[in-house]
Structure 1
Amino acid sequence: MALCVALLIASEFMPVSLLTPMAASLHATVGQTGQAISVSGFFAVAASLLVTTIAGMLNRKWVLIGLTGCMLISLIMVASTPDFLGLLLGRALLGICIGGFWALATAVIMRLVPEDEISHALGIMYGGQAAAAAFAAPIGSYLGSLFGWRTVFWALVPVVILNIIWLLGALPSLPVRQRQSFRGLFELLRQSYFLRGLIGAMLSWGAAFTLFTYLRPFLEKVTGVSVQTLSILLLILGCAGFVGTWAAGYLAKSRISGGLKIPVMVQGACTLGLLLGGHSLVVVVVVMAVWGAMNTAMSVIWMTWLAQNVGKAAEEGGALMVAAIQLSILLGAVFGGFLLDHFSISVTLVGSILLAVLGCLVIGSGRALLKP
């Protein structure tokens, strides 16, 4: 599952490191190409809300394997597309895989390990996110400069095939214990603590991806980095994610309420640092390392909050959380792209900071987000 997470993250956000050449090849603006992430987010929202009900009583092992197969087809479509429309269609299929997998992932982890090991298991699974953040973007941007962006997507195809074979052998049978319905989703949403948590999570991810989606244009225009330097910076950001995953695992075990605000608060401060000192490469290196650590920590912390506060409604809670996160990624990419195309990259960073401030206000001390 950690490998599948790594591939999902790599597939979903690879356009971030290849945004400029993809836009040129497909005869689109950088802002329009950034919407490819929005498209996958839109379909991920729909898939996350529908997978637990449409999949009905299907064994969750086979649902996860089927969703991984959708990722494989998506990568082939994106790598071979002749135009911008083909890119959008491939990203739409990827969105189905993203939404479905993430909606089920936490519930599956809760069934695979004892209760006191859930946060540790989530940390291991999200280690795949750290690995993708560490290596996918820098390797993608470097290989893209040498062989073209399409080759980068083709390179992921055999790894996804390997992952499908691994899931077939490693995952135990996971029969459904109870058929899920939309009623369970609405019952959770009626809980004020859970609804506030969803809004806090949305603002956290929205702030992060208003910046992250358009990080390459900022580094190229403001910092003035080359492709090689960009690859190194993305590697630093990703490697810092391993530290964030490790730290979040321990923080989530001890004091989850106090940890919910830390990622969005620190990332907002990092974005402000880029806005004020983005011309300095030294400042950019420090800021990106801290931002990368918080990016993976955010996932572990929020999913541990979910596991600790939804009880037996793990699939419903996972579906709603994933829908909220993907919707925020979608809106963050749209918001950031609008600001970039109509104003400037600096205004895009200001938008990210404003969302981070709102996130901190909604989360507060975190105690209001705990189940009574």
Structure 2
Amino acid sequence: MTQATLSADTTIRPVAAWGAVLSMTLCVALLIASEFMPISLLTPMAQGLGATEGQTGQAISISGLFAIAASLLVTTSAGRVNRKWVLAAMTALMLLSLVLVAAAPSFDVLMIGRALLGVCVGGFWALATAVIMRLVPEAEVPRALALMFGGQPIAAAFAAPAGSYLGGLLGWREVFWALTPLVALNLIWHVVALPSLPARQQQDFRAMFSLLKRPYFLMGLIASMLSWGSAFTMFTYLRPFLERVTGVNVTLLSILLLALGCAGFVGTWASGRFVKGEVARLLKLPALVMGSCPLGLLVLGASPIAAGLILMLWGAMNTAMSVIWMTWMAQNADDAPEAAGSLMVAAIQASILLGAVVDGWLLDGISIQATFIGSAILAGAAVILVGNGQKLLKPQ
């Protein structure tokens, strides 16, 4: 990069930095809402499109397949494009996706809309951390990252319950239409607030392959996939379980999902306070706790109170899981953080996709209980693979 470019970056940062960070925070919240709000609308969406709940759950999860590809390809295929416009393009794709889903006349159009969202999800997360590091001085990067990731519990707390309640009141299509003006405003905010971010270095696939050749990193990547796969195997089909087994109506369902989302703030606070230093001893905690939740629901899920407490535990650990595993990545792939970040995003999205697809078959072919047993099995495999965590650490 030339001295003139560096000077331009230095000049722009103090003016636009925090407005740009806030625009990315809103984008995170809208991305999470767009990706996971359909889970709270699974039943009415299936009815409206003339499909089974299992098929609709798989269609919702198709975004994961495209997110995998985007997370690996965006930094290479768009390697020389100004990062400001890449992020703006990802947000525009989110807007188009919402319009297609809201207006979907058929199952196939729903699939196309979710595929476009997947490209947005994978591309945004592959670039987000690197962009944040360019928006603020080095000393402010942790605070900026914390602010950006704060969009996750906000969306988790309000998207699912609001989607469930408004879907019952107005209809599931209206919920997606309601998101479109917010995403349009976020797109405008990106264009205004983000400074010019010329590409500094094109991502090399060789760095990713080099990381995969390291046994400790590959083992950790697989363990993280199992952990996320367990979590979202249960979460994707949570509404059918609560309706069929717990016997909730739309109002109580919204309350339970709100409790789950609000618990995420506790997980964010706790992980920020206690996840410090070497995290080996914490790596199996998410799978251990979250794998116990579907078993707890199978035993106690008929009680709304018991179900609510279990969901709050799941919600708190869900947000802590991201901090634990991303800290592990930062500590054990510090020589190739961009390559590691792309691989982690791809792995997480792959686990969400595979978990939802397999459990869609279990739901349609066997029962809702079978999907929760599958979630617990994935978590158990993660706990066994992690062990005491030492074999997932970079050799000293």
TM range (shorter): over 0.9
- 1:15-63: CA deviation from partner (whole Å, max 9, x where unpaired): 1000000000100000000012221011111111111110121222221
> 1:28 aligns to what?
51
* C-alpha distance in structure 2 between counterparts of 1:291 and 1:254, whole Å: 24
> 2:198 aligns to what?
175
Alignment TM-score, normalising by the size of structure 2: 0.90
Preserved CA contact (<8 Å) 1:122 1:300:
no
What is the number of residues matched between the two proteins?
372
Alignment TM-score, normalising by the size of structure 1: 0.96
1:133 aligns with 2:159: no
SS in 2 for 1:179: coil
> 2:8 aligns to what?
none
Indicate which of 277, 300, 308 corresponds to 2:331: 308
- Provide closer, same or farther for how the CA distance between residues 193 and 106 of structure 1 changes in structure 2, counting only shifts above 3 A: farther
> 2:18 aligns to what?
none
Deviation at 1:128, TM superposition (A): 0.9
> 1:338 aligns to what?
361
Q: What letter is aligned with 1:96?
A: V
SS in 1 for 2:50: coil
> 1:91 aligns to what?
114
- Provide closer, same or farther for how the CA distance between residues 175 and 337 of structure 1 changes in structure 2, counting only shifts above 3 A: same
- The equivalences for 1:119-158 within 5 A come to 121-158=144-181
Preserved CA contact (<8 Å) 1:80 1:150:
yes
Deviation at 1:153, TM superposition (A): 0.3
- The equivalences for 1:111-122 within 5 A come to 111-112=134-135, 121-122=144-145
SS in 2 for 1:253: coil
Deviation at 1:189, TM superposition (A): 0.9
> 1:19 aligns to what?
42
* C-alpha distance in structure 1 between counterparts of 2:89 and 2:198, whole Å: 15
SS in 1 for 2:41: helix
- Provide closer, same or farther for how the CA distance between residues 119 and 343 of structure 1 changes in structure 2, counting only shifts above 3 A: farther
> 1:223 aligns to what?
246
The structure having more radius of gyration, on CA atoms, is 2
1:294 aligns with 2:354: no
Deviation at 1:184, TM superposition (A): 1.4
1:42 aligns with 2:65: yes
- The equivalences for 1:186-265 within 5 A come to 186-265=209-288
Q: What letter is aligned with 2:237?
A: Y
> 1:62 aligns to what?
85
> 2:6 aligns to what?
none
SS in 1 for 2:248: coil
* C-alpha distance in structure 2 between counterparts of 1:122 and 1:253, whole Å: 16
Aligned sequence identity (%): 66
* C-alpha distance in structure 1 between counterparts of 2:324 and 2:145, whole Å: 9
* C-alpha distance in structure 2 between counterparts of 1:32 and 1:2, whole Å: 32
Moved more, 357-366 or 135-144: 357-366
* C-alpha distance in structure 2 between counterparts of 1:277 and 1:241, whole Å: 22
Moved more, 173-182 or 86-95: 173-182
* C-alpha distance in structure 2 between counterparts of 1:261 and 1:76, whole Å: 40
* C-alpha distance in structure 2 between counterparts of 1:257 and 1:113, whole Å: 30
Q: What letter is aligned with 2:280?
A: S
> 1:3 aligns to what?
26
Moved more, 300-309 or 188-197: 300-309
Q: What letter is aligned with 2:209?
A: F
Q: What letter is aligned with 1:94?
A: L
> 1:106 aligns to what?
129
Indicate which of 68, 72, 79 corresponds to 2:95: 72
Preserved CA contact (<8 Å) 1:123 1:245:
no
Unpaired runs of 5+ residues, structure 1, are: none
- 1:319-352: CA deviation from partner (whole Å, max 9, x where unpaired): 1111100000000101111111111111111110
Deviation at 1:177, TM superposition (A): 2.3
Moved over 6 A (4+): 114-117
SS in 2 for 1:219: helix
Deviation at 1:118, TM superposition (A): 5.4
- 1:151-173: CA deviation from partner (whole Å, max 9, x where unpaired): 00011111111212222333333
Deviation at 1:316, TM superposition (A): 1.3
- Provide closer, same or farther for how the CA distance between residues 313 and 60 of structure 1 changes in structure 2, counting only shifts above 3 A: farther
